[in-house]
């Protein structure tokens, strides 16, 4: 394949099924001078499968800043470089942003070989609106921070896409149920792999669905969350304040529960607090 010299190629790789690698991706990986990989040993397995022995170097979140000048220097000497991550599209919840910014700033060409991305794959099967969506990446790992972030996102009317790991899927599902109630969520798990599964449930039913079979808690997950219904704030507040407080009160104190409920419903803090006190009695 003909390449303009001094190009950085951003190459998407499979998220499970190796047959999903694009033929052009294989050509680029075989012909560049070096492949910058998030984990060189992980990428070695893909390259062995393809019969490619292009030299590799590591580029991960801890060394990316140091790698940028080094790789820009190689592009300046006319070398071609491919960037890959462990799976899917580099830069999407993966390293590479600093490299791409640095390479563009230095005036070199950046080109894409598009392909698999778990967020887009999940959206395409979720059956939730896709005309407008927000990609949130991973929600915060700390429970308090995660709940705060979810409360901030609860009014978002666009479809929301989040990544989650097997370590936190149950805790995140509990929080989603508490904050979002009956809002539909599609959980897409192990996409393109042997145990691929996707299910759409009301948020409050997700914890129970996961608990019913420990296999459902394994692997890699994308959560596609229906956007908030667009209703006048006052009407939304009247309808959902009690339901929301009933979900929040077992998880948080009266003050915190009412603060979150007030923010989500548009009801005054004082009103939400008085209602929370009444419900707690």
| Residue 258: other Cβ atoms inside 10 A | 28
- Which chain residues interact with ligand SAM by CB under 6 A? 15-16, 85, 87-89, 92-94, 117-119, 163-165, 188-193, 220-222
Cβ proximity to ligand SAM, 174 vs 220, nearer residue: 220
Smallest distance, Å, CB 256 to ligand SAM? 28
Q: What is the DSSP string of 98-147?
A: HHHHHHHHTT-EEEEE----HHHHHHHHH-S--SSEEEEEEPPSSHHHHH
CB of residue 250 vs ligand SAM: minimum separation in angstroms? 28
Smaller CB separation from ligand SAM, 116 or 177: 116
Query: Shortest Cβ distance from residue 252 to ligand SAM (Å)?
Result: 26
- For ligand SAM, the closer CB: 204 or 220: 220
Q: Alpha-carbon distance 95 to 63, whole Å?
A: 10
- Minimum CB separation of residue 93 from ligand SAM in Å reads 4
In sequence order, the 6+-apart residues with CB closer than 8 A to the CB of 267 are: 237, 241, 261
Token pair, residue 155, equals 């009014």
**Residue partners of 230: CB distance under 8 A and separation at least 6:** 157
Least distance in Å: CB of 197 to ligand SAM?
Answer: 10
Q: What CA–CA distance (Å, rounded) separates 256 from 247?
A: 12
Between 76 and 141, whose beta carbon lies closer to ligand SAM? 141
CB of 38 to ligand SAM, least distance (A): 8
Which is nearest to 172 in space by CA: 133, 127, 118, 136? 136
Q: Are 30 and 50 in contact (CB under 8 A)?
A: yes
In the complex with ligand SAM, which residue's Cβ is closer, 118 or 179?
118
By beta-carbon proximity to ligand SAM, the closer residue of 96 and 227 is 96
């Amino acid at each position: 394949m003909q390449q303009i010299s001094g190009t950085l190629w951003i190459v998407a790789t499979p998220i499970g099924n190796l047959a999903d690698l694009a033929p052009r991706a294989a050509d680029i990986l075989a012909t560049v001078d070096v492949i910058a990989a998030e984990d060189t040993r992980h990428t070695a397995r893909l390259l062995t499968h393809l019969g490619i022995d292009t030299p590799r170097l590591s580029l991960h979140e801890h060394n990316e800043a140091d790698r940028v000048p080094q790789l820009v220097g190689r592009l300046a000497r006319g070398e071609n470089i491919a960037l890959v991550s462990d799976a899917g599209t580099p830069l999407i919840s993966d390293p590479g942003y600093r490299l791409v910014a640095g390479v563009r700033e230095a005036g070199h060409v950046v080109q894409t070989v598009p392909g698999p991305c778990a967020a887009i794959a999940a959206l395409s099967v979720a059956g939730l609106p896709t005309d407008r969506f927000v990609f949130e990446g991973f929600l915060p790992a700390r429970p308090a921070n995660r709940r705060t972030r979810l409360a901030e996102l609860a009014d978002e009317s666009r479809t929301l896409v989040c990544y989650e790991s097997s370590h936190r899927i149950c805790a995140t599902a509990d929080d989603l149920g508490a904050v979002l109630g009956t809002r539909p969520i599609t959980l897409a798990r192990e996409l393109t792999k042997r145990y691929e599964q996707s299910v759409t449930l009301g948020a409050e039913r997700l914890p129970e669905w996961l608990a019913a079979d420990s296999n459902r808690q394994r692997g890699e997950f994308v959560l596609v969350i229906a956007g908030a219904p667009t209703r006048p704030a006052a009407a939304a507040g009247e309808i959902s304040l009690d339901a929301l407080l009933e979900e929040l009160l077992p998880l948080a104190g009266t003050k915190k529960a009412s603060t979150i409920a007030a923010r989500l419903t548009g009801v005054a803090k004082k009103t939400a607090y008085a209602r929370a006190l009444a419900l707690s009695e």
